[in-house]
Structures are given as C-alpha cells and as structure tokens.
C-alpha cells in the first residue's frame, strides 16, 4: 500500500490505534510454488495439506465483504497453482472484494491474459528481481526471467494497462532502477519496488542480498525523484529519515491497517512476520477473521502507543518510526530498537555487536527438501559490478494510491 502525501496529520493517530477492518490484507493462498526463490519471505515450496478448502475460502471472502475489505493481495507460493484459483478470484470480485495477485507469470497464458484484461476488479503483479536474466535468475531460478517477460508481453498484448511489475530491491539490482522503470514502461505496466526483508528464506541470504548503506541512499533519492509514479507498498519508510518523507503513511501498519492470512488460515500481523511471535489467531476459530482482527491480544498490543524504545530520543524517530518490526526481529535485533538498515547506522552497529547469537527462524518452512533443478543459487556477490511537505492537515480529504 502506498499512500500519497496529504494523508498523514491526525490520521496517523487513527491508523496507529487500528481500524475496524484492515485497509489492505495479504492472503497467501498456498505455500505450493513452482519456483524456489532464495529470498522467499514465506519459505514456500510444498503445499500444506491443511490448506483452507474452496468452501472455507469462500466463507472467508463473505466475511471480508461484510467487513468491507475493499481488496486483497493474493500471493503464496504461486497462487495460480491452486486448482480453484480462478474460481476464488471470480467469487471475490462478484462479492465486492477486489483482487490483486502476485505471480511469477508461469500460468499467464494468452487466454488468461485476455480474461484479466477484461476485468476492472482484478490486478496482476508480475515479480522480477533483476532487470537482466542474469541478475534475476540468480535469485529466482533459471528461466524465471524469460517466463515473467513472456507473461508481461501477453498481458500487454491483451490490452491490460497498468498491471504491476514488482521488484524486491537487492544489492545486485539496486543499480538497475532506471532499467526496471523502462521495462515497466515498455509493457505499459506500473513499477512497484519493495524492500528485501530477512523473512522466511530471506533470512538466510539477507546479509548477501540486502542493499548497502550507500545503495539505500541512492534508492531513497530515486524514489523521491519518481514520487507517486512508482509504488512501494509503503515499504521504505525507514529511509524517510534521509530527508523529506516518501509518499505514504510512513508507519508500520502491522496489525493496525494490514495483516496476513496464511494458507491454513493463520492470521499474522504482517506478510513479513510469519512467526509464532506475530501469530494473532486463526480464521477457522469461532468468531472467524473479524474476531482475530478486533480482539486478538497481539493486535490490541500493537495498537497501543509504542514507546520507541532505544530510538525514542533520536531526532529522526518521527520520520522512520523505528523502521520495520519484522526486519528487526528476523535479524535478531530488539523490536523496540533501530531498524537493521537505520540510515544513521545504529542497526549496523548493533548487528556487528550481535555476535553469533542465532536470529529467530520462521515458524513455518515449506521449502522443498530436495532442491529442484530450477532452484536458484545463492548469488555470488563478486559477480556483480559496481552500482551505478509535510502533508496538508487542513484538507478534510486525503488520497492514496494502493500499491
């Protein structure tokens, strides 16, 4: 979700104390995936046999409709491998729940592209993590770049304007932002850039893949220069401490305006926090999703005023709000301290002092036990070259672009 400037002011207080229902909800429909990206934040691969059934999914959609959740971000795993995927998309849109789904593109045939282009209520997000096959395939697996490009060609040919090209920024691709933009423009898509999180398998490769301090600065400058034409899912608010705030709410929405529902119906505070520590409940329990959202102890705790901890005395705290809870947790840093990518370097210093204490591991790991032929290799960093108003509180209305 990206919010445009103009949304903050008093609204932030309302968001921090939680809304009656999420603005934006991520639903990982399956852990099954035909790729094995090294940084997969949900450690996907194999299907969980306890997955929600088709009728349970439909009951959940009915509930989201009652709560007026305007749209869901469907992901996985690769959601399109579920046999009932299109049935569920159709059911959701027929019940005023819009769908944006993430895909590696492998199931986007010409026929599917035409169907998607014809719907006002479905948006598609194709994932690519390198503007060249070499950089992408090192992370997402051999052939995955060509697959994603073919999907984008088909969507463009079908007349789908404004689908999303979604990129996780890494040390290896941080110098390719202009190329990504050009790629999105070529297919009349919109570029969406998000932050690499040390979540899921991402924890294993974060040290090698996360952008350097110098790259963080370049990313910030690039985002400032491109403003609202590029979506970020509000993921870089920790970089707002560099200067002017980036477009968006610039706060952690976990359990306040966002949450995650996983394939077995477990509800977590955010898509990057699949760990018992952030598990709020399950949609199969009495009271369903609404009770979890409204009454879970974890969510109520997250909505209480946060102290800021070690960051409270920092002059930049108002801008970065201490950064990303999940990024701190999975790198073994205290959640009330600085973000591992704190622009002042406080996180880096803490990481260096952390020593060999193991960071928490995700509670769920559906990675395939035997690596497939397509499984990506951990990137060799040596192969990669050098890297190239305050919102108006007066107006009674403010707007955002969803992303």
Q: Which of residues 55-74 bind other proteins (CB under 8 A)?
A: 68, 70-71
| Nearest to other proteins of 382, 389 (CB atom) | 389
C-alpha span between 269 and 281 (Å, rounded): 10
Please choose, out of 1-9, 36-44, 77-85, 377-385, the segment that lies near other proteins by the rule CB under 8 A. Answer: 1-9
| Nearest to other proteins of 145, 299 (CB atom) | 299
Based on the shown chain and the rule CB under 8 A, indicate whether residue 121 belongs to the binding site for other proteins: yes
Q: Which residues pair with 166 in a beta bridge?
A: 127, 192
Please choose, out of 2-10, 33-41, 236-244, 265-273, the segment that lies near other proteins by the rule CB under 8 A. Answer: 2-10
At closest approach, how far in Å is the CB of 343 from other proteins?
27
Candidates 49, 120, 385, 390; binder of other proteins (CB under 8 A) is 120
Give the chain's largest Cα–Cα span. Answer: 58
Based on the shown chain and the rule CB under 8 A, indicate whether residue 188 belongs to the binding site for other proteins: no
Based on the shown chain and the rule CB under 8 A, indicate whether residue 91 belongs to the binding site for other proteins: no
C-alpha span between 343 and 241 (Å, rounded): 7
Based on the shown chain and the rule CB under 8 A, indicate whether residue 96 belongs to the binding site for other proteins: yes
Binding mask 320-359 toward other proteins (x if CB under 8 A, else -) reads: ----------------------------------------
C-alpha span between 56 and 227 (Å, rounded): 40
Based on the shown chain and the rule CB under 8 A, indicate whether residue 398 belongs to the binding site for other proteins: yes
At closest approach, how far in Å is the CB of 104 from other proteins?
22
Question: Which three-class secondary structure string do you get for 14-71?
Answer: HHHCCCCCCCEEEEECCCECCCCCCCCCCCCECCCCCCCCHHHHHHHHHHHHHCCCCE
Check if the beta carbon of residue 172 is closer than 8 Å to that of residue 209.
yes
Q: And the tokens for 258?
A: 């966002």
Query: Residue count at the site for other proteins (CB under 8 A)?
Result: 32
User: Which candidate, 264, 277, 364, places its Cα nearest to that of 325?
Assistant: 277
List strands edge to edge, sheet with 98-103. Answer: 190-195, 164-169, 122-127, 98-103, 71-75, 24-28, 258-261, 266-268, 279-282
Based on the shown chain and the rule CB under 8 A, indicate whether residue 7 belongs to the binding site for other proteins: yes
- Report DSSP letters for 145-182, one per residue: HHHHHHHHHHHHHTT--S-EEEEEE-TTTGGGHHHHHH
Based on the shown chain and the rule CB under 8 A, indicate whether residue 138 belongs to the binding site for other proteins: no
Candidates 16, 21, 105, 250; binder of other proteins (CB under 8 A) is 21
Residues forming contacts to other proteins in the complex (CB under 8 A) are 1, 3-4, 6-7, 9-11, 14, 19-21, 23, 68, 70-71, 96, 98, 100, 120-121, 123, 392, 394-402
């Amino acid at each position: 979700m990206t919010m445009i400037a103009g949304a903050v002011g008093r609204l932030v207080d309302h968001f921090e104390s939680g809304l009656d229902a999420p603005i934006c909800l991520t639903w990982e429909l399956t852990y099954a995936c035909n790729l094995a990206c090294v940084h997969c934040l949900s450690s996907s691969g194999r299907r969980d046999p306890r997955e929600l059934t088709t009728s349970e999914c439909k009951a959940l959609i009915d509930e989201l409709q009652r709560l007026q959740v305007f749209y869901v971000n469907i992901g996985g795993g690769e959601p399109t491998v579920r046999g009932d995927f299109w049935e569920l998309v159709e059911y959701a849109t027929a019940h005023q729940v819009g769908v944006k789904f993430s895909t590696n593109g492998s199931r986007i045939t010409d026929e599917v592209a035409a169907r998607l282009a014809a719907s006002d209520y479905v948006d598609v997000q194709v994932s690519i993590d390198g503007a060249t096959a070499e950089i992408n395939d090192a992370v997402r697996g051999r052939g995955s770049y060509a697959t994603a490009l073919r999907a984008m060609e088909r969507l463009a040919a079908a007349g789908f304007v404004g689908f999303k090209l979604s990129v996780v920024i890494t040390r290896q691709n941080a110098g390719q932002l202009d190329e990504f933009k050009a790629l999105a423009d070529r297919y009349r898509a919109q570029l969406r850039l998000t932050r690499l999180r040390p979540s899921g398998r991402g924890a294993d490769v974060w040290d090698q893949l996360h952008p350097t301090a110098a790259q963080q600065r370049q990313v910030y400058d690039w985002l400032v220069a491109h403003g609202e034409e590029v979506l970020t899912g509000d993921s870089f608010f920790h970089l707002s401490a560099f200067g002017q705030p980036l477009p968006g709410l610039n706060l952690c929405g976990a359990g306040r305006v966002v949450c995650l529902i996983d394939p077995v119906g477990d509800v977590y505070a955010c898509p990057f926090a699949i760990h018992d520590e952030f598990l709020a409940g399950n949609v199969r329990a009495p009271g369903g999703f609404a009770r979890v959202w409204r009454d879970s102890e974890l969510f109520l705790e997250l909505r209480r005023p946060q102290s800021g901890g070690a960051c409270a005395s920092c002059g930049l705290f108002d801008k970065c709000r201490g950064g990303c809870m999940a990024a701190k947790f999975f790198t073994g840093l205290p959640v009330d301290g600085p973000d591992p990518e704190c622009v002042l370097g406080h996180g880096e210093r803490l990481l260096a002092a952390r020593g060999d204490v193991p960071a928490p591991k995700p509670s769920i790991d559906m990675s395939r036990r035997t690596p497939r032929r397509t499984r990506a290799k951990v990137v060799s960093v040596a192969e990669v070259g050098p890297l190239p108003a305050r919102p108006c509180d007066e107006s009674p209305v403010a707007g955002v672009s969803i992303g």
